Amino acid sequence: METPFASGPAELFARIDNAAIDNAASAASEGVLFAKLDQAINWARKNSIWPMSFGLACCAIEMMSMSASRFDIARFGAEVFRGSPRQSDLMIIAGRVSNKMAPVIRHLYQQMPEPKWAISMGACATSTGVFNNYALVPVNQVIPIDVYVPGCPPRPEQLIHALMLLQRKIQAESGTTKNVLNL
Ligand code: SF4
């Protein structure tokens, strides 16, 4: 792997998102029954996403707004913000990721049970944004990201759109049943 832009311990920048390759291999041997079961499980999963209560900077205010009455993320079944990573399946990176916070974010992500997803919210999380300096690191060097949301800050509607894209991704996943049954 190339040397990352930001400096820090090597293990911090080692990729941990090779699960997609395993997923693709298991999907190749899917039968009709498993494919239908996959669709049912994926449907249940995509409509019951539990985000973690976790904010890093100003973007988190827009994230909170998304869960409040004006935008009401309950319409998408994702309003149950959990206080523990062990009860969450979505991490929304809402704000800039500093070198100091990066190991904490990875630790929390690893404490989340499978299946789990992550949204990078805002320019700072995705590319360090206007704070392009030695103290920050793009979040995809720390954890695998499923959906990126542009903007500074993104509006709550944009985050809802990201959630809808994530739902589409979850619905399209294959090999779900085999993964659940450890086959
Ligand atoms: S993208 Fe903008 S609003 Fe979001 S954390 Fe960075 S500076 Fe704050």
Whether the model clears a pTM of 0.85, i.e. scores above it, the answer is: no
Q: Which two tokens stand for residue 113?
A: 């049970």
Q: Is the CB of 94 under 6 A from ligand 1?
A: no
* The pLDDT of residue 5 is above 80: no
Instruction: Tell me how far the alpha carbon of residue 125 lies from the centroid of ligand 1, in angstroms.
Output: 8
Instruction: Tell me how far the alpha carbon of residue 145 lies from the centroid of ligand 1, in angstroms.
Output: 18
Q: Which residue, by CA, sits nearest to atom 8 of ligand 1?
A: 58
What burial class does residue 79 get, using C-beta atoms within 10 Å of its C-beta: 0-12 exposed, 13-18 middle, 19+ buried? Answer: middle
With respect to residue 146, please indicate whether it lies within any of the assigned structural domains: yes
CATH number, domain at 101? 3.40.50.12280
With respect to residue 13, please indicate whether it lies within any of the assigned structural domains: no
Q: 10-41: per-residue pLDDT in tens?
A: 666 565 555 555 555 555 566 778 888 899 99
Instruction: Tell me how far the alpha carbon of residue 87 lies from the centroid of ligand 1, in angstroms.
Output: 27
Q: pLDDT class for 70, splitting at 50, 70, 90?
A: very high
The helix (run of H) or strand (run of E) holding residue 167 is: helix 156-171
Structural domain harbouring 104: 44-181
Domain count, the chain: 1
Is residue 174 within 8 Å of 38, Cβ to Cβ? Answer: yes
With respect to residue 31, please indicate whether it lies within any of the assigned structural domains: no
- From 124, 128, 155, the mutation candidate for ligand 1 (largest count of ligand atoms within 8 A of CB) is 124
With respect to residue 18, please indicate whether it lies within any of the assigned structural domains: no
With respect to residue 54, please indicate whether it lies within any of the assigned structural domains: yes
Residue 1 confidence (pLDDT) = 45
Q: What is the mean pLDDT of residues 51-59?
A: 92
